[in-house]
Amino acid sequence: MGRDITEIRADFPLLTGEYAYLDSAATSQKPQVVIDAEKEFYEKYNANPLRGLYELSVEATKRYEEAREVVREFIGAASAEEIIFTRNATESLNLVAYSYAMSKLQEGDEILVTILEHHSNFLPWLNAAKRCGAKVNFLECDGQGRITEEAFRAALTERTVLVAMTQISNVLGCENDIKRFAAITHEQGAVFVTDGAQSVPHIPVNVRELDVDFLAFSGHKMLGPMGIGVLYGKRKLLDKMPPFLYGGEMIETVTRTGATYAELPHKFEAGTVNAAGAYGLSKAIAYIRQIGFDAIREREDTLTQYAFKRLRENPYVTILGSEDPADHHGILTFQLEGVHPHDVSAILDESKVCVRAGHHCAQPLLKYMQVPSTTRASLAFYNTTEEIDRLAEALGTVRRKLGYAE
Ligand code: C6P
């Protein structure tokens, strides 16, 4: 990495060393430039964007639309009209489910999801399917989290209308070969939706290279503010889709009996938008670009390897998923023998080690893997081996504190 880690950590107000923050898959920490950007928007440009004709509102609109362009470039979309700002990945996926799926699905149609999905990339499809008389099929993975091409081909049927697949699992950290699966889906004439919530912050994602039809992700997991998310969609699909939410700013004309709707992307951005959030997200992207994905990957891989080594020193720890740290993208979900993950997390919290405990919003996956609940440490490039040592050492005390002999 070009910049020294101490210098990088100094960019993040919460990375003072008080906490060992190992929960970046839930939400990342924010650099000062992102925090300042939101403040700057309200201090310098605050007016309702896209509405006023006066200078300040035009300025606010400018920041908002510039942010859209930053996002477009970041994920390699063909045009800024294909970038819809939402609140988060969950809303982006719901937009596709309500607007695309519900207007397309016929009785007997099928949606294919994988067992790896977060609830946000499963429940919107289940709801759409139920309303339309369609059904959701599950594609299962092996113990390492892998989905084979053979299994994928076998799961697609001529009734498959849509495939929804995460790029990186928030529980196992494994990565799906999205380009390959999207191509197979297209051979079948179906549409491919990717959940990029855990990938976009960590690896370069180019929607045209992957040739996905839709991509959803959240700003808050990639150094950006909470409350801003993105949906990318291919223009030819978005153009034909009905609005998702109705109201202000998404219309062309309104009469007592009907309306015509605005052009893309505004057709899908009803009501006052989160312009300060979009502006903050554009600064987060600039920050990621300045660190660089090569450096991010290198650092996260080294940290993951180190965390594996340290956790494996504890004979009571079992890490879920692949044996190879390189397959984990900084995500280590584990069980500590005989201890409920809520107790693990509470005891780690006494040492200010922040991890997540529970089902990680992926209950079908945990049930499939026959684990009721787990603890998850998730890393980002700004973490250090010292923080991982704090995790390993605090973890080493848990069983003793709960009365086990060792
Ligand atoms: N996963 C985690 O701790 P939102 O909440 O809309 O920003 O992101 C939803 C979401 C969708 N897909 C994947 C793969 C995700 O990991 C998440 C969020 C967090 O794992 C919070 S549950």
Q: Is 215 helix (H, G, I), strand (E, B) or coil?
A: strand
Q: Where in the chain is the domain with CATH 3.40.640.10?
A: 34-288
What is the Cβ-side half-sphere exposure of residue 154, based on CA atoms within 13 angstroms? 8
Residues 6+ apart with CB under 8 A from 16: none
Q: Give the residue, out of 218, 222, 223, 375, with the most ligand 1 atoms within 8 A of its beta carbon, to mutate for a pocket test.
A: 218
Which atom of ligand 1 approaches the CA of 220 most closely? 7
> Is 361 annotated in the active site?
yes
Which atom of ligand 1 approaches the CA of 361 most closely? 22
Question: Cα separation of 275 and 56, whole Å?
Answer: 13
Residues 6+ apart with CB under 8 A from 153: 184
**pLDDT for 405:** 77
Task: Tell me the fold of 34-288.
Answer: Aspartate Aminotransferase; domain 2 (3.40.640)
Give, using CA atoms, the residue closest to atom 19 of ligand 1. Answer: 26
Q: Where in the chain is the domain with CATH 3.90.1150.10?
A: 5-30+292-401
* Cα torsion angle, 180, 186, 187, 190, sign: positive
**pLDDT for 295:** 97
Give, using CA atoms, the residue closest to atom 8 of ligand 1. Answer: 89
Q: Is the CB of 166 under 6 A from ligand 1?
A: yes
- Spatial strand order of the sheet with 110-114 comes to 83-86, 229-233, 214-218, 191-195, 160-166, 110-114, 135-139
H or E element in which residue 303 lies: helix 293-312
Residues of the chain with pLDDT under 50: none
**pLDDT for 96:** 98
pTM flag (> 0.85): yes
The architecture that CATH gives domain 5-30+292-401 is: Alpha-Beta Complex (3.90)
Residue 348 CA to ligand 1 center (angstroms) comes to 22
Q: Give the residue, out of 91, 118, 220, 221, with the most ligand 1 atoms within 8 A of its beta carbon, to mutate for a pocket test.
A: 118
Residues 6+ apart with CB under 8 A from 205: 75, 76, 167, 196, 199, 215
Nearest CA to 119 among 81, 74, 89, 146?
89
* Cα torsion angle, 90, 81, 201, 5, sign: negative
Could you tell me which residues are beta bridge partners of residue 354?
A: 21
Question: Cα separation of 135 and 363, whole Å?
Answer: 19
Which atom of ligand 1 approaches the CA of 221 most closely? 7
**pLDDT for 34:** 98
Q: Are 22 and 355 in contact (CB under 8 A)?
A: yes
Q: Is the CB of 80 under 6 A from ligand 1?
A: no
DSSP β-ladder status, 317-319 and 331-336: antiparallel
Question: Cα separation of 168 and 362, whole Å?
Answer: 13
Between vectors from CA 34 to CA 29 and to CA 36, what angle results, nearest 5°? 125
Q: Give the residue, out of 170, 332, 366, with the most ligand 1 atoms within 8 A of its beta carbon, to mutate for a pocket test.
A: 170
**pLDDT for 52:** 81
